[in-house]
Amino acid sequence: MANGEKRSEWVLCRGCGEMVYGRRFAREAKVCPGCGFHAPMGARERIAHLLDDGSVRELDFRVPDADPLEFVDTEPYPERLRRARARTGLDEAVVCARGRIEGHPVIVAVMDFRFFGGSLGAAVGEAITLAAETALRERTPLVMVTASGGARMQEGVISLMQMAKTSQALAQLDEAGILTVTVVTDPTFGGVAASFATLGDVIIAEPGARLGFAGPRVIEQTIREKLPEGFQTAEFLLDHGIVDAIRPRGELRTTLARLLAVATRSARAERPEAEEGPAPVGDPAELPDLDPWTAVRAARRLGRPTTLDYIGMLVHGFVELHGDRRGADCAALVGGLGYLDDIPVVAIGTQKGRTAAELAKRNFGMPTPAGYRKAARLMRLAAKLGLPVVTFIDTAGAYPGLEAERDGQAVAIAENLRLMASLPVPTVAVVTGEGGSGGALALAVANRVLMCANAVYSVISPEGCAAILWQDPQAAPRAAEALRVDARHLLELGVIDGVVPEPPGGADTDHAGAAAAMRRALTATLRELMPMDAMNLVLDRHARFRRFGSASPDTVKPVVKERKPA
Ligand SMILES: [Zn+2]
């Protein structure tokens, strides 16, 4: 802190109103040790906090002052600018720099609310755009830390144009496959929120940070109602699918480093010290003749590893991402980025849970449209970054509910089928428990589809089929048999490509053993697919699904060529 030692011995926390010892406050990066309040941070302070010591080089993106409207309110705009500079020591409301985070190169653009409320004038828009263009030219990820009240009124419509300019700069990074991350700090409103701040691939917010288009006062005046407590805060936005994650200031560096490691494939390879599991089985004759109804019951055992269990055991440096960016975050579907051994991946799956409370919270693993849209968002991110996609499927089906239908469940599933068909990256799906109908297939249009030995995959639950065709729910075992829902039959039918062996008592009796077999199956399958280029991956997937029901399934096989080494 710039304040002298004597003056800053004690600091008043704006969160709890308690006095905090100044040095401690500074050491905690301006987070109150009592109540966790995150006090505002200046741009240069923030850069020093986020980037590795000694790595920072500020980028000089100053542009000549412009006063396009020759704006005067109670005083001329140039006079206000001059005073803001004198008061803050900043040229403008953003500072850009290059540097490293835990060794990973990054370009950062950090806003400073003290300067004109972080408003988006032409100089700010220009600096953000130049930062993005530098990231593009150097193929380096861009991290933007936002704090803004919105447009800069003194620059009128030229300020408005900065929203378009910065958004198209970010679109270029999307096209080039360069990771963009936003760190939302309090407050981020208006034109900044409605342009580059929410266009980041990943949006991380500090606890309590508010983000929105319209400010709370404007909303209250318009709707003539008091807004609920916590409206537009990070926590509210996480619940409503707008931000990916909330991280206390002290954890930001680690999370950013993990994201950068995956996006730039620069993590140290971490081969876990785990036993090598058994190889996947590709020949139906090698599988035991399991009674399908026994498989159904085994597949539903609550002790089986869930998607988050598998991710926890197999994917290191995992960062879970949340939300569909449209208004909801479905807890029945989880996903994020991390490393499967030395392979950076996007991992996605349905999540059931085990206790009654968790099952209820996770909607029994039955995704809503928001869940499928979250999956779609993560798959598009994988496509952008060129990362393989691994999906874990254990769901009785897509959630059959009133709201789910109203929100377009059928559309969400259909759009995922189409999206998965065209993904330019290797994709592997594993049915780990129940593979229930369209809700499962919406995550399973993959180059390779695997299944755990005791998993089932079916167009309808045996109970549902029994009720309809036998008109007797008691006929479920017969329906399971008739539907051929078990791994051996599905391997014979070519619906799956391989079976992941389970420990002798089933996956639920030995999670580590189940994970070892899963690791071997996934890494072997991914390594087989990774040499293929985007076109052949799509052709391979197309042929895989084109053949079902075809009169001449062999003629639809494409010629799959390996990519020539560069
Ligand atoms: Zn406090």
Average pLDDT over residues 435-463: 96
Would you say the pTM of this structure is higher than 0.85?
yes
Over residues 114-156, the pLDDT tens digits come to 999 999 999 999 999 999 999 999 999 999 999 999 999 999 9
Cβ atoms 542, 521 nearer than 8 A: no
The length of the chain, given as a count of residues = 566
Give the pLDDT confidence score for residue 557 in this predicted structure.
Answer: 56
CA distance 382 to 177: 9
The pLDDT confidence band at residue 429, using thresholds 50, 70 and 90, is: very high
Question: Separation of 403 CA from ligand 1 center, angstroms?
Answer: 40
The pLDDT confidence band at residue 211, using thresholds 50, 70 and 90, is: very high
Give the pLDDT confidence score for residue 4 in this predicted structure.
Answer: 42
Question: Separation of 39 CA from ligand 1 center, angstroms?
Answer: 9
Give the pLDDT confidence score for residue 289 in this predicted structure.
Answer: 87
End-to-end CA distance of the chain: 51
> Residue 559, exposed/middle/buried by CB under 10 A (0-12, 13-18, 19+)?
exposed
Question: Separation of 88 CA from ligand 1 center, angstroms?
Answer: 25
Over residues 222-271, the pLDDT tens digits come to 999 999 999 999 999 999 999 999 999 999 999 999 999 999 987 766 66
Tokens of 2: 């710039």
Over residues 456-468, the pLDDT tens digits come to 999 999 999 999 9
Over residues 391-405, the pLDDT tens digits come to 999 999 999 999 999
Place of tokens 């969400």: 412
Question: Separation of 258 CA from ligand 1 center, angstroms?
Answer: 29
Based on DSSP, count helices (H) and strands (E) in the chain, helices before strands: 22, 18
CA distance 185 to 118: 11
Question: Separation of 92 CA from ligand 1 center, angstroms?
Answer: 30
Question: Separation of 35 CA from ligand 1 center, angstroms?
Answer: 4
Question: Separation of 192 CA from ligand 1 center, angstroms?
Answer: 28
Question: Separation of 29 CA from ligand 1 center, angstroms?
Answer: 13
Cβ atoms 103, 93 nearer than 8 A: no
> For 121-145, what is the HEC assignment?
CHHHHHHHHHHHHHHHHHCCCEEEE
b (16+ CB within 10 A) / e for 6-34 = eeeeebebebeeeebebeebeebbbbbee
Give the pLDDT confidence score for residue 63 in this predicted structure.
Answer: 86
Question: Separation of 320 CA from ligand 1 center, angstroms?
Answer: 28
| pLDDT for residue 561 is more than 80 | no
Please calculate the CA angle 34-36-41 and round it to the nearest 5 degrees: 120
- CA 202 to the chain's CA centroid: 6
- The HSE-up count of residue 10 (CA atoms within 13 Å, CB side) is 4
| pLDDT for residue 415 is more than 50 | yes
The helix/strand/coil state of 434 is strand
> Residue 240, exposed/middle/buried by CB under 10 A (0-12, 13-18, 19+)?
middle
Average pLDDT over residues 58-84: 92
The pLDDT confidence band at residue 2, using thresholds 50, 70 and 90, is: very low
The helix/strand/coil state of 534 is helix
Backbone angles phi, psi at 303, to 5 degrees: -80, -5
Q: How far is CA 52 from CA 105, 257, 267, in A?
A: 10, 11, 16
Over residues 476-534, the pLDDT tens digits come to 999 999 999 999 999 999 999 999 999 999 999 999 999 999 999 999 999 999 999 99
Beta strands in 315-469 (DSSP E): 315-320, 333-340, 343-350, 389-395, 427-436, 448-452, 456-458
Q: Of all helices (H) and strands (E), which one includes residue 95?
A: strand 94-101
Question: Separation of 38 CA from ligand 1 center, angstroms?
Answer: 9
The pLDDT confidence band at residue 276, using thresholds 50, 70 and 90, is: confident
Question: Separation of 11 CA from ligand 1 center, angstroms?
Answer: 10
Give the pLDDT confidence score for residue 91 in this predicted structure.
Answer: 96
CA distance 106 to 181: 10
Question: Separation of 21 CA from ligand 1 center, angstroms?
Answer: 11
Give the pLDDT confidence score for residue 357 in this predicted structure.
Answer: 95
Place of tokens 């002790």: 303
- The HSE-up count of residue 45 (CA atoms within 13 Å, CB side) is 17
Question: Separation of 23 CA from ligand 1 center, angstroms?
Answer: 15
Question: Separation of 33 CA from ligand 1 center, angstroms?
Answer: 7
Question: Separation of 247 CA from ligand 1 center, angstroms?
Answer: 17
Give the pLDDT confidence score for residue 1 in this predicted structure.
Answer: 41
Give the pLDDT confidence score for residue 562 in this predicted structure.
Answer: 61
Question: Separation of 31 CA from ligand 1 center, angstroms?
Answer: 8
Cβ atoms 145, 110 nearer than 8 A: yes
Question: Separation of 15 CA from ligand 1 center, angstroms?
Answer: 5
Question: Separation of 437 CA from ligand 1 center, angstroms?
Answer: 50
Question: Separation of 232 CA from ligand 1 center, angstroms?
Answer: 21
Give the pLDDT confidence score for residue 286 in this predicted structure.
Answer: 94
Cβ atoms 309, 324 nearer than 8 A: no
CA distance 321 to 508: 27
Over residues 369-381, the pLDDT tens digits come to 999 999 999 999 9
| pLDDT for residue 6 is more than 70 | no
Question: Separation of 1 CA from ligand 1 center, angstroms?
Answer: 18
Give the pLDDT confidence score for residue 486 in this predicted structure.
Answer: 95
Give the pLDDT confidence score for residue 66 in this predicted structure.
Answer: 86
CA distance 343 to 341: 6
Question: Separation of 354 CA from ligand 1 center, angstroms?
Answer: 37
Question: Separation of 34 CA from ligand 1 center, angstroms?
Answer: 5
Neighbours of 534 (CB within 10 A): 15
Of 485, 388, 394, the closest CA to residue 428 belongs to: 388
Over residues 164-209, the pLDDT tens digits come to 999 999 999 999 999 999 999 999 999 999 999 999 999 999 999 9
Question: Separation of 36 CA from ligand 1 center, angstroms?
Answer: 6
CA distance 439 to 350: 10
DSSP state of 37: -
**Mean of pLDDT over the chain:** 94
Question: Separation of 234 CA from ligand 1 center, angstroms?
Answer: 18
Question: Separation of 250 CA from ligand 1 center, angstroms?
Answer: 16
Question: Separation of 249 CA from ligand 1 center, angstroms?
Answer: 14
Over residues 10-50, the pLDDT tens digits come to 999 999 999 999 999 999 999 999 999 999 999 999 999 99
**Rounded (10°) angle between helices 409-421 and 369-385:** 20
Tokens of 62: 């100053």
The pLDDT confidence band at residue 559, using thresholds 50, 70 and 90, is: low
Q: How far is CA 16 from CA 205, 206, 247, 543, in A?
A: 21, 17, 20, 62
CA distance 125 to 119: 10
Cβ atoms 435, 457 nearer than 8 A: yes
Give the pLDDT confidence score for residue 343 in this predicted structure.
Answer: 95
Q: Which amino acid is at 305?
A: P
Question: Separation of 248 CA from ligand 1 center, angstroms?
Answer: 14
* Alpha-helical runs (H) found in 142-251: 156-176, 190-192, 198-199, 216-223, 234-239
- The HSE-up count of residue 271 (CA atoms within 13 Å, CB side) is 4
- 274 or 279: which carries more pLDDT confidence? 279
The helix/strand/coil state of 4 is coil
